[in-house]
Structure 1
Amino acid sequence: MTARQDSFWTEKNSSSSSQGNDCCLYCDGEAYFHAFIHACAQARHSIYILGWDLHTQTQLRPRPEDSHQDWTLLAFLQRILQKTPELHIHLLTWRPAPLYIMERERLQNFKFTGWTHPRLHFRADSRHPLGGSHHQKVVVVDDQLAFVGGIDLTIRRWDSCRHRALDPLRKDPEGHSYQPYHDTQLGLSGPAAVQLAWLFRERWRKLTQEKLRPVDASIGMAPIELDGRDAIATFRNTPVSISVTDPGFRKARATLEIAELYKDLLRSAEKYVFIETQYLTSRHLVEVLCGVLSRPMPPDIFIILPERLGPWLEKKTMTHLQALALTEMTNHDHKGKLRILYPFDRELLPIYKYVTVHSKLMVVDDCFLTLGSANLNNRSMGLDTECNVTIDARDRPHLQASIRQAVAFIIAHYANDRVDYALRKFEHAASLTPLIESLRMISPYKHLADFKIRLAPEDFIPWVDAQWLDMDQPTSMELALDRWGRTLEAIQRPLKIPSRVLTFVMTGLAAVSIAASHVWMVQPLQESPWHGMTIQFSGLLLIPLLYLLAYLVFAPINLLILLAAGFFPSLEALPYIVVAVIIFVSVAYAGGRTLGRVFFPALHKALEKGDLAALCLLQTMPIAPHMLVNAAAGAAGVPFLRFLLLTLIGMIPGCVMLALFQRSVIQLFIDPSWSSAGPLLILLMFISYIFRWSSQRFANYGSL
């Protein structure tokens, strides 16, 4: 960390500031990927890659003249590792929730670590509040050079600056075309790169407990040069500040520098504000923008958004939140200074596509340019991890000229790349409004058009609380889970039972239960007149007995319910299951309530907001050992009837699985075949994935 430059930069809006940096601004994926390749090819010791998403098959150079080599991400990284014996590459990405499973690369962890180079290190991080994500997009090479912005090294990010409607090069690994995609990335060399390397090493240390060593500056490495050939603007000897959003996790304090940065930048605006963002829904920033527009002499404010949002759920909820925010701003625009725009291209209309604006860039008065991973939504201000860098061009005319050049290029590239004309027009008019209007006349079929606000769109889902998709702080459920986690840890710590032993015993119990059900179902007792009674009586004893044994090794409720499918038809099994569950959760609850008053008096207190919802989640998902959850509920003083109701609610997924898959379980033992085993294999794979994800995601909540 370095000293602040002046009074504008404080501990609230930046982590560090440094002088003497060189920067290049890249517009769109093609230019950035070229610069990324050029930088990594010079690496000698370390490459750090931090992303929201990564993909082994990301095509870095899709043009036909580059087809003589494999330019997918993994192939490129392996090639430079083989060429440079001292090089280590560390990749750190977000471990997404199951909701994103269909959007992510299959077997990604195996592809990056299975049969790849031993000096390629890959980790997926899930240490964040519930509902959040790791959204930072940073690359650092040898602690000398870095890239920060909105572009992940993943598929469907490559595009040229022309954003052709039917560009044949814009395809994913499966050969499917995707719509035009606009984004920006900033390359940096100098002290700011060292600070970004520290940011990566801290993230890596918190996840893996491994301390990565900085590159030794005394070994006399050759300097790594930024590739400025495809840059739309260059900045020499510039001050750079780094700001982050970190919601905090467990006992860590939240860091909300980006929110403060945007507020300070907007309040400092006098002439104009230029914004590109994927979303604009942040309540606090909308309040600041409304205040700026309400001034007697407000600055011009230009906001570029995508015409539409996607995918499905985002489109039907975030669209409404954004419409509310934009309507609020227009209601305060008494001087007509607000222009909300989107990229229009007539060639996209027949194919029902639009230009995806993914850039997260803001310019204020030619004096500040900030760029990074943070959108202007609530999540980026407080719930997701984010990283922005800001160029401070105050009192530096050469840097202000570069900022104007960047703004002119971005506006012109939406109108058939009339960059020289745009720069001359901007310099002459000293305003962006004449430039935008003149480009509409010169390029009537491709330009920045006025955005149409649709309040309460017809495809909005009114029964979805859209605010849950765009929160700026951890939910009460997350805070409750944290409290339950501490309770569970307090109870579990004296047991000192390794989690792997519990998992092994639980797996063995499942196998023994299925085998026992097979014996009870098919052994030759048919001739006995007591056959039916024997099976029912045995099951009546066996199910509670197995549940008792399973509870002692912390088996999840819904797994136990599924195992019962091998004993009885659904209607006969359910009463035994319900009775067995009620008995043993009540015993655990009573034990926790009795012993908790003696050993954990501090835990016995009034319930807080979100505790009951958190308990319901704990009873449904394999997040934590159910026996400990029940004991913790008793120790924390949850009312018994509420506890019992939430337990029964938590049994619903298991009962549904029992009804759907019971016939397959029985048929598998009577007449084994692929038709009977197939549905169960699919179910077990899904359960295994959920269990593995929840165990990793909630590793700090007493999970197995």
Structure 2
Amino acid sequence: MQSGKSVFQPGQNCWVESKARFSTPLIDCGNYYKALHSSIVKAKHSIFIVGWDIDSRIRLLRGDDEVSSEAPSVISDLLKWKAEQNPDIKIYLLRWDSSLAFFAQREMWAKEVWEEKTPDNVQTELDDTIPMGGSQHQKIVVVDDELVFSGGMDVSTNRWDTRDHPVVSEERDGPDGEYGPLHDVQMVSSGPVVADFAQLVRWRWQRVADESPIDMREEARIDENAPLPDAWPEDFPPLFENVECALARTIPFMDEVEPAQEVRHMLLDLIGEAESVIYIENQFTTRQEIAEALNKQLKLKPNLSVIIVSSYEPKGKFECEAFWASRIEFKAILEKGIDPNRVKLTYSSIEDMQGRKAYKRIHSKVMTIDNKYLVIGSSNLSNRSMTLDTEIDTVIFGNSKDNRACIEQVRNDLLAEHTGRDIEAMPEIFNSRYPVEALMQGQIAHGYVLTEVRDEVFTEHSVKNVFRALSDPEEPLISVPTLDGAALPARNPRRRSIMILIGVTIIAILGGLMFWASQSIPWLSSDSINAFLEKSRGTYFALPTVLIVYVVGGVLFFPVTVLSLAVAAIFGPIWGPIYGIMGALMSSAIMFGIGKLSGNAGLRKIGGPKVAAVDEKLKRSGIVGVAAIRMLPVAPFSLVNLVAGISSIGIFQFLVGTFLGMFPPMIAKGLVGDSIAQIWKNPSVETISYLVGGIIMWGLMIWGSQKFARYYQARKESTGDAAQTSNSRKDEGEKCAA
């Protein structure tokens, strides 16, 4: 039985009008990740994942599900397992490139990480085609061209949570430690709509990749009686059947692509259809045009109520001044001239019986219009989502009595969660004169409750500012004039370009500081250091003086060879190397500590998987590896110390390796340094012979260290391979015996 005609108008408020054979919402990441894991395990032909982020470290399963699963839980391990299990399957990962603003949360070298962790039939691309200021914000997974996940969820950090949203959860652990409750909504669908998503993800892929993806499979299961597709996730039965739907996009103007603002037009048209209840849950509510449309419809329809659920607390200055300050204006426009019993902008929070408080972070993008329309998508009610980001919303139309009942069920289920009620209590609330006021009253103590937002506690009502211009823009931040007089939006800078710029900037700053120090600090020269050390010779302050010189020289990246030769020249071939090695060890330990602190603060992330591979080799080779590096002049002394601190090697191994690698050459430098001093005082064949002998010894030690390090590494690797082979044979024998 049809229920009138929908508002869908392809080319205006939507991209395509379609149909879903089956569809069901997946509420919160615990459910979505479990469903995604199930469908990936079942995949046979292809997997496309398009996201704002695709983090290789995310565990899709938790608890008993993780323990009982035969397939890996971590998504990179899972995709590797699937790709190796079925070499014919093709897996495509398309992630937004630019991530400087999210350095602490996102994997900096995402493409390299995925390429290192997965085989060749898993391909990864970073999308750098989005205009500057915008982002790749679509969240889509297409499996075998017969199943699609879409909505507000990424496979990213600080996302996983369960529907009960406990105040404290050990599983909610992100890069910065435990995070608070987080709510989101995704949807899984099958049927003709999957072909539209399959076309979209392939178009997105072809824009950035050199190779075209595999051709779309001919979809057979599109008739009204088709069964659930093979890839449908376990434990998630479909809610909607044979439901009409539409896909609305935001596509910014990029590389001569025709822009689309279908999301914007769709939301405005849907609001104009409302008569009874508009329910919205959204991460950001800043678009004044949406507030004006809601206010207008409230005035046109006296029986209409509007309830909005969003987040409570902003994260950082940019979010506060860009989105929370704008939400003050949004709320004022929304409520102007309206009975407060009919409209509320709220947040969901809890205070448990121990007095612990938690505020639920809303990341979902959901809207229901009476029982006629349900929107589950990626779009926030913000300026950027309407014009500048790439977005995709799925709009379901209640084309039958059953599907209208399902739309009501989704709305009631979500509001029951936010207010700590049972879903059975919701129909009575919505049958009351003022459903919004009824929702706010009678909420259960020590459960989740809705409270009206008061953003003035976070920020003042202010005019447009630089934070809004950067965080919630309507247009690209920079446009480049073209020869025909038009303007082409500049792309977001590539991650690689950002990293190169950061590296060049750091090197320039260090170089500038060293040049400034050499020109401005009178005592930072070889002559001054020699004079300083000369004064301490023969006194009790000789060793402390040498230690101070090495430590200060290490911090200022002064060449250690110059220091060693100077110390040997002043203190002789015996005490010179002894003092020198003690000073070098102290300087190494201090710079190692600085490196360790810097690495923990995020510098380890900059290095990426290539540096991680070198780090792993250094860790495996241990003391011998450090000794070899010390004997070989491959990098400045202080830089090696810093890098070692950032790496995973322990300080004991590092210092022992430093001693073994530096002390023999230090003796050779002692001969050279002392010979130079003697030649200066009394040139003779003997002193020149000592100099030549010392240089030869120095060279032989470098050559010998190379040989020994290679021999040791080869032997260690061969021993490891032999042990691994032995273990494999043992395992096979045990399996045969079993």
- Does the CA-based 8 Å contact 2:306-2:436 persist in structure 1? no
Deviations 1:157-208 (A, max 9, x none): 221111111233333478x332111111111101111111111111111111
* Maintained 8 Å contact 1:341/1:448: no
Decide which moves more: 313-322 or 253-262.
Answer: 313-322
| Distance in 1 (alpha carbons) for counterparts of 2:482 and 2:218 | 42
Name structure 2 gaps, 5 residues minimum. Answer: 222-226, 489-495, 522-552, 565-583, 608-738
Instruction: Give the TM-score of the pair, scaled to structure 1.
Output: 0.67
Q: What residue number does 1:195 align with?
A: 196
Aligned to 1:37: 37
The amino acid across from 1:215 in the alignment is M
- CA distance, structure 2, for counterparts of residue 567 and residue 167 of structure 1: 51
Give the equivalent residue in structure 2 for 1:346: 351
**Alpha-carbon shift at residue 450 of structure 1 (Å):** 2.9
Alignment of 1:570-589 (within 5 A): none
| Alignment partner, residue 325 of structure 2 | 320
Hey, what's the Cα distance between the residues in 1 that align with 2:353 and 2:136? 32
Secondary structure at 2:49 match in 1: strand
Equivalent residue, structure 1, for 2:336: 331
Distance 1:230 1:433, change over 3 A: farther
Match of residue 99, structure 1, among 101, 104, 110: 101
Residue pair 1:360, 1:374 contacting (<8 A) in 2 also: yes
> How far apart, CA to CA, are the structure 2 residues paired with 1:11 and 1:208?
27
The one of 421, 425, 435 equivalent to 2:428 is 425
What is the letter of the counterpart of residue 119 of structure 1?
A: N
- Other-structure match for 1:19: 19
- 2:402 corresponds to 1:401: no
Judge conservation of contact 2:350–2:358 (CA < 8 Å) in 1.
Answer: no
One-letter identity of the residue aligned with 1:150: G
For structure 1, which segment, 460-469 or 54-63, has the greater mean C-alpha deviation from structure 2 after superposition? 460-469
Residue 280 to residue 483, structure 1, CA distance change in 2 (3 Å): farther
Amino acid at match of 1:403: I
CA distance 1:209–1:459, change in 2 (3 Å): same
1:247–1:473 Cα contact (<8 Å) kept: no
Asked if the contact 1:21–1:240 (Cα under 8 Å) also holds between the matched residues in 2, the reply is no
Distance, in Å, in 1 between the alignment partners of 2:35 and 2:116 is 28
Tell me the distance in 2 between the aligned counterparts of 1:177 and 1:562. 36
Deviation per CA, 1:238-272: give whole Å up to 9, x if none: 11211111112132232111111111111111111
1:67-106 residue CA offsets vs partner (Å, 9 max, x unmatched):
2554111112222222223211111111234222122125
Aligned residue number for residue 209 of structure 1 = 210
Equivalence map 1:475-514=2 (5 Å) = 475=476, 477-480=477-480
Structure 1: how far apart are the matches of 2:339 and 2:434? 19
Contact 2:133 2:473 in 1 (8 A): no
* 1:267 partnered with 2:269: no
Q: Mark the structure with the bigger radius of gyration.
A: 2
Q: CA deviation at 1:45?
A: 0.9
Q: Give the superposition deviation at 1:433.
A: 3.6
In structure 2, the partner of 1:227 is 233
* TM-superposed deviation, 1:670: 5.0
Q: How does 1:4-15 map to 2 (within 5 A)?
A: 8-15=8-15
Partner of 1:543: none
Q: Secondary structure at the match of 2:406?
A: helix
Q: 1:481 to 1:564 in 2, by over 3 A?
A: farther
Q: 1:384 aligns with which of 386, 389, 394?
A: 389
Counterpart check, 1:280 vs 2:291: no
Correspondence 1:286-301 to 2 at 5 A? 286-295=291-300, 297=302, 299-301=304-306
Identity of aligned residues (%): 22
Whole-angstrom distance in 2 between the partners of 1:265 and 1:556: 51
Q: Distance in 2 between matches of 1:167 and 1:368?
A: 35
Encode CA deviations 1:464-485: one digit per residue, 9 max, x unaligned. Answer: 523214434334x511477899
Deviation at 1:571, TM superposition (A): 7.1
Distance 1:20 1:65 in 2: 29
Q: RMSD in angstroms over aligned alpha carbons?
A: 4.2
The DSSP-based 3-state class of the residue aligned with 1:86 is coil
**CA contact 1:280–1:376 (8 Å) conserved in 2:** yes
Offset at residue 132 of structure 1 (A)? 1.3
Give, in whole Å, the separation in 2 of the partners of 1:173 and 1:568: 37
Aligned position for 1:47: 47
SS of structure 2 residue aligned to 1:89: strand
CA distance in 2, matches of 1:33, 1:281: 29
3-state SS in 2 of match to 1:441: coil
Q: Which residue of 2 aligns with 1:130?
A: 132
* Alpha-carbon separation, structure 1, partners of 2:320 and 2:455: 12
Quick one: distance in 2 between partners of 1:485 and 1:314?
35
Aligned to 1:467: 468
Q: Is the Cα contact below 8 Å between 1:327 and 1:453 reproduced in 2? A: no
What residue number does 1:609 align with? none
Distance in 1 between the 2:487 and 2:360 partners? 49
The Cα of 1:380 is off from its aligned counterpart by 0.8
Alignment of 1:81-92 (within 5 A): 81-92=83-94
Q: Which residue identity is paired with 1:66?
A: E
Aligned to 1:436: 439
Secondary structure in 2 aligned to 1:33?
Answer: helix
Which runs of 5 or more structure 1 residues have no equivalent in the other structure?
A: 489-499, 501-505, 508-554, 574-660, 691-704
Q: Note if contact 2:60-2:73 (Cα within 8 Å) is conserved in structure 1.
A: yes
1:122 partner amino acid? T
Find out whether 1:238 has 2:243 as its counterpart: yes
Find the residue that maps to 2:456 and give its secondary structure.
coil
- 1:171 aligned residue: 173
Q: Is the 8 A contact 1:127 1:249 kept in 2?
A: yes
Distance change in 2, residues 1:20/1:163 (3 Å) = closer
The answer as to whether partners of 1:374 and 1:380 remain within 8 angstroms in 2 is: yes
SS at match of 2:158: coil
Q: How many Å separate the matches in 2 of 1:664 and 1:463?
A: 45
